[in-house]
Amino acid sequence: MFFVALITFSLAHLAPGSPFDKNPNRPLPEETIARLERYFGVDKPIPEQFVIYVGNLLRGDLGNSFVQRGRPVSEIIGQGIGVTAQLGIQALLLALAFSIPLGIISALKQNTPLDYFSLLIATIGTTIPGFVTAIFLIYIFGVSFHLLPFVGWGSWQHSIMPTFVLALGPGAFLTRITRASMLEAIRQDYVRTARSKGLREQSVIVGHALKNALIPVATIIGPATAGLITGSFIIESLFNVPGIGRFYVLSINGRDYPMIMSTTLLYAFIIMIANLTVDIVYGALDPRIKVS
């Protein structure tokens, strides 16, 4: 976490140009810039700024946005996080809802047209970037048939396309993993044992194979969360969704240091938490692995 903060901070400050020279035709008077720099504390040497930033951070103060007239960063993030979280959770649930059944079915019907179809979908989902899929969807459902709105956020119709596009990448990945681990599970001895003692096929698959096949799938949810996060700022910018991702892209272009720092740290933090949770859950699901 500390290193993430250090790297982001130095990179952001190494960049030439100050956040206050936005308009080259009408430059601000020099004393105004000096006053602004003093107000935001960017006139001090960079290492000192970093120490001050970390100190404030530990006290829960994320600083003020440069660009949005000194609004506290925590306020901007607080405003966007609800939207981003809603979008992210919807997408994760959708991804799980279609990928696990699809993976299971294609493993059980290996090398049938159904299997090839779901593999093709999975390949397309992992290969084609979200913004490209989004463009095709917007063209079909938004522009040609006017079925769904594609700009902004508000009603549930607004969230359909962003959720679907965001879910596609992680969902396709999860499908592949589910298929692979299910294929491995149904060849195990314990599945043969279950079958030979005369259990119904359904309970063999659900109770014996699936239970074990889902363990590797659970560990992928960590990286999948990372995928959702990086996906979110592109999708949010594209669909004009007022979440953190869109603010993040805006703040990178506007050189808004406190915003860049806080958002990056927040992302790294969420990913760390996700990975940690997965590690713990993994240990609980599979007693063969001990959490050290």
Partner 1 sequence: MATAVTTRQQQQRAAELNVIARKQRSLWKDALTRLLRNKAAIAGMIVILFVAFVAIFAEIRLDAIGLHFRLAPYDPVADQNTPKALMEPIWTQAFGSKYTDPVMGSDQLGRDILSRLMFGSRISLIVGFVPVAIVFVIGGTVGMLAGYLGGWVDNSLMRFTDIIYAFPDLLFVIIIVATLRGTAFGDILGGLLLIFVGIAIVGWVGLARLVRGQVLSLKHREFIEAARCIGATPTRIMLKHLFPNVLAPVIVSVAFAIPGAMLTEATLSFLGVGIRPPTPTWGAMINEGFVVFSSTPWPVLLPALCISIVLLAFTFVGDGLRDALDPRMKL
Identify which range of 25-33, 96-104, 211-219, 231-239 contacts partner 1 by CB under 8 A.
231-239
For partner 1, the closer CB: 53 or 204: 53
Task: List the structure tokens of 245.
Answer: 């991702």
Options 131, 148, 282, 286; binder of partner 1; rule CB under 8 A: 131
Options 143, 206, 280, 284; binder of partner 1; rule CB under 8 A: 143
Q: How many CA atoms lie within 13 A of 40 on its CB side?
A: 26
Binding of partner 1 by 138 (CB under 8 A): yes
Binding of partner 1 by 132 (CB under 8 A): yes
For partner 1, the closer CB: 7 or 280: 7
CB of 194 to partner 1, least distance (A): 24
Number of residues that bind partner 1 (CB under 8 A): 41
Binding of partner 1 by 229 (CB under 8 A): yes
CB of 52 to partner 1, least distance (A): 20
Options 114, 180, 183, 252; binder of partner 1; rule CB under 8 A: 252
The contact set with partner 1 (CB under 8 A) reads 1, 3-4, 7-8, 11-12, 14-17, 123-124, 126-129, 131-132, 135-136, 138-139, 142-143, 226-227, 229-230, 234, 237-238, 249, 252-253, 260, 264, 267-268, 271-272
